[in-house]
A and B are shown apart, each in its own frame.
Chain A
Amino acid sequence: MITLTDQAFDPGTLMSDFCRGRTETGAVASFVGLARAEGGAAAVLELDAYPGFTEAQIALHVATAQGRFELQDVRIVHRIGAIVPGEPIVFVATAASHRRAAFEACDFLMDYLKSRAPFWKKETGPDGARWIEPRPQDLSDLARWETP
């Protein structure tokens, strides 16, 4: 399930809910991304998304992950709107029979979410506002998954 929300969320609650009632899941891996203050340079982060389109594009990538790894289930929650430093931005959890698939699929999904997913990110600090592009590191992280 994929959710975009403009409300703060609790990763612990999401994790407990995701793990509940799984008698055939041997492994759940998760990732939580938090908004960084950048030493005071980023007072507020604003994430713009295209509701409907953004979830559909992420769902296509989840389907790719399901084809690539032996996954049982995926949960993604992503903040949109204004986010202050320290707040969770993204939660990804993957469930599989065995740990390797869960770890790798979580990593794979995060590399996509951080570099190619349909979000537009603006950082506002003491020096004004600027739109953020993916870092070169985000793009090289994504390239790790490309087959030669």
Chain B
Amino acid sequence: MAKVLLFGALSDLAGWREKTLEAKSVADLRHLLAAEDAGLGLALDGAGVQVAVDQAIVRHDAALTAASEVAFLPPMSGG
């Protein structure tokens, strides 16, 4: 199971910050999330959205292990 985290505008849009889902890859996870919530699916494909697995930025097709923490990061705004 992957722990999925959303930040910033993505979390507002989805209405949640954290959930656990079964997925083998980041691509797999995006399909699952888009099937649940089409609006979130579009937003995850938006310009500048980065993906971090276990706190390291990865490509959008990265594989996931059982213990992965996957974070979808909208464009960073600075503080």
Q: Are B79 and A117 in contact (CB under 8 A)?
A: yes
How far, in angstroms, from A62 to B12 measured CA to CA in the complex? Answer: 31
- The verdict on A90 contacting B71 (CB below 8 Å), with A48-B11, A50-B7, A131-B8 known, is no
B73 — which chain A residues lie within 8 A by C-beta? Answer: 50, 118
Docked Cα-Cα span, A113 to B77, in Å, equals 9
**Residue B29 at the chain A interface, CB threshold 8 Å:** no
CB distance from B20 to the nearest CB of A (A): 17
Task: Give A18-46 interface residues, CB cut-off 8 Å to B.
Answer: 33
Interface hits, A32-85 → B, CB 8 Å: 33, 47-48, 50, 52-53, 56, 78-79
Instruction: Collect the chain B residues with CB atoms within 8 Å of residue A90's CB.
Output: 79
Q: Are B78 and A131 in contact (CB under 8 A)?
A: no
Determine the distance from Cα of A94 to Cα of B73 in the docked complex, in whole angstroms.
Answer: 29
Which chain A positions have C-beta within 8 A of B55?
A: 50, 52-53, 56
Interface residues of A in 111-148 (CB under 8 A from B): 112-122, 131-134, 138
**Contact digits for B20-38, partner A, Cβ 8 Å, 1 yes 0 no:** 0000000000000000000
Assess the B71–A119 pair: CB atoms within 8 A.
Answer: no
| Bound: A116/B36 CA distance, A | 31
Residue of B nearest to A133 (CB): B77
By a CB distance below 8 angstroms, the chain A residues around B5 are 50
- Shortest C-beta distance, A38 to chain B (Å), equals 16
Tell me which residues across on chain B come within 8 A of A105, comparing CB atoms.
none
Given contacts A53-B71, A56-B55, contact A119 B76 (CB under 8 A): yes
- A48 proximity list for chain B (CB < 8 A): 7-8, 11
Nearest Cβ on chain B to A138's Cβ, whole angstroms: 6
Q: Which residues of B contact A47 (CB under 8 A)?
A: 79
A29: min CB distance to chain B, Å = 19
Chain A residues packing against B (C-beta within 8 Å): 33, 47-48, 50, 52-53, 56, 78-79, 89-90, 112-122, 131-134, 138
